Amino acid sequence: MIIIDKEKCTGCGACVRDCLNKTLAIREGKAEYIRDCFKCMHCIAVCPEDAVSVNDPDNSMEEIFPIDESCHVDADRMLRFIKSRRTIRHFQNRPVEKEKINMLLDAGRFSPTGSNSQNVSYIVIREQRDEFNALAMKEFRSLKSPDRFSLVFPPPFDLSRIDFEDDEFLFKGADTIILAVCPSDVNAAIAAANMELTANGMGLGMLYVGFFIRLVNVTKPLKKYLGLSEEDHVAVAMGFGYPDVKYYRTVPRKPAKVTWL
């Protein structure tokens, strides 16, 4: 429930104007909570007097901090950071600290989701990483015949370019595997992109494991191992670790296909 501190509230109406769901109204010169909302929390962020809070065990007010200059990232610097990121396929044999994994999960947690559904959940595979990788490769190798492979990986996937003998073909030696489980590929992809940029900022590298996504969503043993139902959808698979490769420059990209109307 949204709570308005009437002592702090000046009735400026900022929260009312910014409320998509018309949950708030100005009554007798003060903001008032008049009906249920989907908890986007814009009212908390937009109030200049810090008069809005929420009484909800799932949303802790202790996480809140003021938005100031320390939150600003120069646009040119940000774009250079994005252009300099590389997908990593060579990782050091070095564990990723749990504090850094928690920061990655925070980057995903604070990413936008449609209708503020916050419906992306995560499976972090660390302690059982080698056991899980062995099972994944066993299931992957079961598709070695062209007929079976094409059922899961239709063209343009090229069977001849896959090394089924490589035990690390899928995850490339990444220390930590994080799966984003979500019915919405878009919500999961947004979270994953923010997690990757955060990883780069911490000196980590990340690999999107597209082969595994197709594999896990049609393979009962993998879903059972992960504790997922047949209906659960693994939307993104990511491998994180310390890079064992250094890149010295950015790379070219095709021009954007843009239609101006």
At 29, which CATH number?
A: 3.30.70.20
Residues 13 and 134 in one domain: no
Residues 176 and 52 in one domain: no
Q: What is the pLDDT of residue 39?
A: 85
Residue 170 within a domain: yes
The arithmetic mean of pLDDT across residues 5-30, rounded, is 95
Residues 103 and 48 in one domain: no
The arithmetic mean of pLDDT across residues 176-200, rounded, is 98
Measure Cα distances from 112 to 39, 144, 145, 192, 228 in Å: 12, 39, 41, 11, 24
Residue 196 within a domain: yes
CATH value at residue 175? 3.40.109.10
Q: What is the pLDDT of residue 222?
A: 97
Residues 46 and 101 in one domain: no
SS3 call for 72: coil
Residue 193 within a domain: yes
Residues 132 and 183 in one domain: yes
Residue 235 within a domain: yes
Q: Tokens at residue 134, please? A: 């062995």
Residues 149 and 33 in one domain: no
Residue 259 within a domain: no
Round the average pLDDT of the chain to a whole number and report it. 95
Please name which of 80, 86, 72, 69 lies closest in space to residue 199, comparing C-alpha atoms: 86
Residue 189, domain extent: 78-241
Query: 30-33 and 176-181: which strand pairing?
Result: unpaired
Q: Is the pLDDT of residue 146 over 90?
A: no
The amino acid that residue 23 corresponds to is T
* pLDDT level of residue 57 (50, 70, 90 thresholds): confident
Work out how many domains the chain is built from and give that number.
Answer: 2
pLDDT, one tens digit per residue, over 149-174 is 888 888 888 888 899 999 999 999 99
Q: Is the pLDDT of residue 55 over 90?
A: no
Residue 73 within a domain: no
Residues 116 and 31 in one domain: no
Residues 39 and 84 in one domain: no
Alpha helices in the chain (DSSP H): 14-18, 42-46, 75-84, 98-109, 129-141, 146-152, 185-201, 210-216, 220-226
Residues 93 and 215 in one domain: yes
> How many helices, marked H, and strands, marked E, lie in the chain?
9, 8
Q: Decide which of 63, 95, 114 is a domain's last residue.
A: 63
Residues 235 and 118 in one domain: yes
* pLDDT level of residue 214 (50, 70, 90 thresholds): very high
Residues 59 and 82 in one domain: no
pTM score: 0.93
SS3 call for 97: coil
Residues 84 and 191 in one domain: yes
Q: What is the pLDDT of residue 161?
A: 86
Residue 253 within a domain: no
Most confident of the following: 27-41, 116-130, 136-150: 116-130
The amino acid that residue 231 corresponds to is E
pLDDT, one tens digit per residue, over 88-98 is 999 999 999 99
